[in-house]
């Protein structure tokens, strides 16, 4: 069990990094990676939401959708759970942890349409829903948490590199997003070195 969790960690953070090998969450990756500070803020918000969303969606799937044979409605159910969860977290933080709210505040609403969150939840359902209930719950939460950590790692590294490309002078048509994408490709190349590690 502990070994499996460790493997999930290694594969989510490095080998099958959400951005660089699965292409989940590219929009915020390109959108808020201008400065390392904001990138870290976004990353923390994603870790927070993705862990809770994995837990909530696992429970909803196992105790509501499966029980009433509504598995085919999973897309609608999950997106609603995520939207409600984000709204709820926003209200909770605003009321009880205002410091954290002012740090994460602007990023939270963006997360509802972050495909990394919905993607993680659906991958959890595909991979872990056949297991016993307790085990599938723990694995799902671990997957959500570590996938978000991998996302944060990628976005912070990328923001650091991008801060330097701001000062360079690429050809005019490459300015902005195109050069950022090429940079991302080079970092992805570095990350693909990890795929040599065989897991399992």
Contact between 163 and another protein per CB under 8 A: no
How many Å separate Cα 58 from the centre of its chain?
16
**The only residue of 8, 12, 30, 50 in contact with another protein, by rule CB under 8 A:** 30
Any contact of residue 194 with another protein (CB under 8 A)?
no
Nearest of 99, 56, 143 to residue 65 by alpha carbon: 56
Stretch that binds another protein, among 46-54, 91-99, 115-123, 131-139 (CB under 8 A): 115-123
State CA 66 to chain mean position distance: 25
Q: How far is CA 32 from CA 111, 153, 158, 170, 175, in A?
A: 12, 14, 10, 21, 17
168 near another protein, judged by CB under 8 A: no
Nearest C-alpha neighbor of 82 from the set 120, 29, 126: 120
- Residues near another protein (CB under 8 A), total: 43
Pick from 121, 125, 100: which is nearest to 53 by CA? 121
CA–CA gap between residue 127 and residue 116 (Å, rounded): 16
Q: Which of 91, 185, 197, 199 binds another protein (CB under 8 A)?
A: 185
**How would you label 109-119 residue by residue, b for 16+ Cβ within 10 Å and e otherwise?**
ebbbebebbbb
- By beta-carbon proximity to another protein, the closer residue of 97 and 189 is 189
- Asked if residue 123 binds another protein (CB under 8 A), the reply is yes
Q: Which CB atom, from 6 or from 66, has the smaller least distance to another protein?
A: 66
Q: Which listed residue (167, 169, 173, 198) binds another protein by CB under 8 A?
A: 173
Question: Where do contacts with another protein occur on this chain (CB under 8 A)?
Answer: 20-27, 30, 72-76, 79-80, 83, 112-115, 118-119, 122-123, 126, 171-175, 177-182, 184-186, 188-189, 192
């Amino acid at each position: 069990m502990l070994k499996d969790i460790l493997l999930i960690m290694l594969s989510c953070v490095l080998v099958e990094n959400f951005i660089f090998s699965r292409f989940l969450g590219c929009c915020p990756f390109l959108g808020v990676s201008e400065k390392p500070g904001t990138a870290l803020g976004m990353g923390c918000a994603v870790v927070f939401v993705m862990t809770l969303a994995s837990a909530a969606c696992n429970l909803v799937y196992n105790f509501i959708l499966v029980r009433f044979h509504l598995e085919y409605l999973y897309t609608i159910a999950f997106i609603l759970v995520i939207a409600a969860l984000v709204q709820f977290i926003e209200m909770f933080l605003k009321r009880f942890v205002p410091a954290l709210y002012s740090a994460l505040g602007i990023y939270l609403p963006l997360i509802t349409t972050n495909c990394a969150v919905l993607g993680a939840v659906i991958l959890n359902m595909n991979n872990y829903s056949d297991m016993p209930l307790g085990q599938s719950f723990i694995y799902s939460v671990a997957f959500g948490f570590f996938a978000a950590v991998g996302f944060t790692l990628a976005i912070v590294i990328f923001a650091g590199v991008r801060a330097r490309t701001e000062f360079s002078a690429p050809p005019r048509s490459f300015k902005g997003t195109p050069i950022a994408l090429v940079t991302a490709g080079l970092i992805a190349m570095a990350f693909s070195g990890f795929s040599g590690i065989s897991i399992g």
